[in-house]
């Protein structure tokens, strides 16, 4: 099932995508794609609905109908760094002996096609297509063998990053990762049964039509179940939390010479079975 949120920013309603690619309204069944709506029992109840009987929403999704972030009320946006060996190599860094954890602030989350805004003072704003894992059933100290029982679904994330803020200024990575608009999420949350083999999904990103990232989740170093178990050692995971699992090579920082966003570009990115995002890049006022 493809769950989504549609409508103006801050006023999104819950919905799903039908077999013809149209949006159906789920307001009669859940208040939002958030919280308890992500629990396994609720997902099962939604999957049992006859989607064709749900109200049809006017407009074409990602065209005349805006889609918001596919998950609402996210409490934690946890990211994993250097989780693709080839990306670590292009960054000139070794694969870490344990997953690298950093955060994107939840105020960074935007819809899949909303504008990405380069922050004031930025000279090195970059792109990263990533597989997002959305927690359904919460927990702490989750066994790796049970980890997938805690997943509500998967989505596309663009881990937009300001490399000077991240690397060259004192402190942790977080301040280069969590600027406003640095977390486009969606277009939809796809339940695991529909995704299938999440360890072999093609993923790509283009800037103004030029493909820079062209990889696959199969080269991920620390796999999804391990990441869920690992993160749950240091924090309780709760419904709606997002774990963004790392990026393949082809980021601007790794190009020779490096290339960064300056405003006016169009980013287009996607992951097999999870949909496509398109963002216009502009500078902060």
Between strands 109-110 and 183-184, the pairing is parallel
- Whether residue 95 is predicted with pLDDT greater than 90 in this model: the reply is no
Model confidence at 236: pLDDT above 80: yes
Q: Does residue 26 lie within any of the structural domains?
A: no
| pLDDT number for residue 12 | 98
- Is 271 part of any domain? yes
State how far the Cα of 75 lies from the Cα of 87, in Å rounded to an integer. 28
For residue 87, pLDDT beyond 80: no
Cα(124)–Cα(116) distance, rounded to whole angstroms?
14
In a domain, 55, yes or no: no
Residue 215 lies inside a defined structural domain of this protein: yes
Please provide the average confidence, as pLDDT, over all residues in the chain.
Answer: 96
Q: CA of 159: how far to CAs of 34, 110, 224, in Å? A: 21, 11, 17
Beta strands (DSSP E) in the chain are 2-6, 13-17, 23-25, 77-81, 100-103, 109-110, 116-118, 125-126, 129-135, 151-158, 161-162, 183-184, 189-190, 202-207, 210-216, 242-244, 266-271, 275-283
Q: Is residue 40 a part of any domain in this protein? A: no
Q: Angle at Cα 122 formed by Cα 105 and Cα 91, nearest 5°?
A: 80
pLDDT digits (tens, 9 = 90+) for 64-82: 999 999 999 999 999 999 8
Residues 128-178 pLDDT 10s: 999 999 999 999 999 999 999 999 999 999 999 999 999 888 878 899 999
77: domain range? 69-283
Percent of the chain past pLDDT 70, that is, above it, reads 100
Domain count, the chain: 1
pLDDT at 90: 77
Cβ 222 vs Cβ 88: under 8 Å: no
Task: Name which residue leads in pLDDT, 89 or 109.
Answer: 109
Query: Any idea what the CATH number is for the domain that residue 247 is in?
Result: 3.90.850.10
Q: Is residue 32 part of a domain?
A: no
Within-domain flag for 257: yes
Q: What is the pLDDT of residue 241?
A: 98
Q: How far is the CA of 224 from the CAs of 150, 174, 214, 246, 267, in angstroms? A: 11, 22, 20, 11, 26
Give the confidence band of 281 by pLDDT, cuts at 50, 70, 90.
Answer: very high
Residue 106 lies in a domain: yes
Q: What is the pLDDT of residue 192?
A: 98
Task: Record the tokens describing residue 42, joined without a space.
Answer: 């609720």
């Amino acid at each position: 099932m493809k769950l989504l949120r549609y409508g103006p920013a801050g006023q999104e309603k819950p919905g799903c995508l039908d077999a013809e690619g149209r949006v159906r309204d789920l307001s009669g069944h859940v208040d939002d794609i958030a919280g308890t709506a992500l629990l396994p029992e609720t997902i099962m109840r939604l999957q049992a609905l006859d989607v064709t009987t749900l109200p049809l929403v006017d407009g074409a999704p990602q065209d005349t109908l805006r889609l918001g972030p596919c998950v609402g009320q996210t409490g934690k946006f946890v990211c994993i760094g250097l989780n693709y060996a080839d990306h670590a190599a292009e960054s000139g860094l070794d694969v870490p002996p344990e997953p690298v954890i950093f955060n994107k602030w939840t105020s960074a989350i935007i819809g899949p096609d909303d504008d990405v805004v380069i922050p004031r003072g930025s000279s090195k704003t970059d792109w990263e297509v990533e597989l997002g894992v959305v927690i359904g059933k919460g927990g702490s100290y989750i066994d790796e063998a049970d980890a997938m029982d805690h997943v509500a679904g998967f989505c596309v994330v663009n881990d937009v990053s300001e490399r000077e803020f991240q690397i060259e200024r004192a402190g942790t990575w977080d301040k280069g990762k969590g600027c406003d608009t640095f977390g486009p999420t969606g277009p939809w949350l796809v339940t695991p049964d529909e995704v299938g083999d999440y360890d072999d999904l093609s993923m790509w990103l283009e800037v103004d039509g030029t493909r820079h990232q062209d990889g696959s989740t199969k080269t991920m170093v620390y796999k999804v179940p391990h990441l869920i178990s690992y993160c749950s050692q240091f924090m309780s995971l709760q419904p709606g939390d997002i774990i963004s699992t790392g990026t393949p090579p082809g980021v601007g920082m790794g190009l020779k010479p490096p290339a960064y966003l300056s405003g006016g570009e169009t980013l287009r990115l996607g992951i097999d079975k999870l949909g496509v995002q398109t963002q216009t890049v502009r500078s902060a006022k």
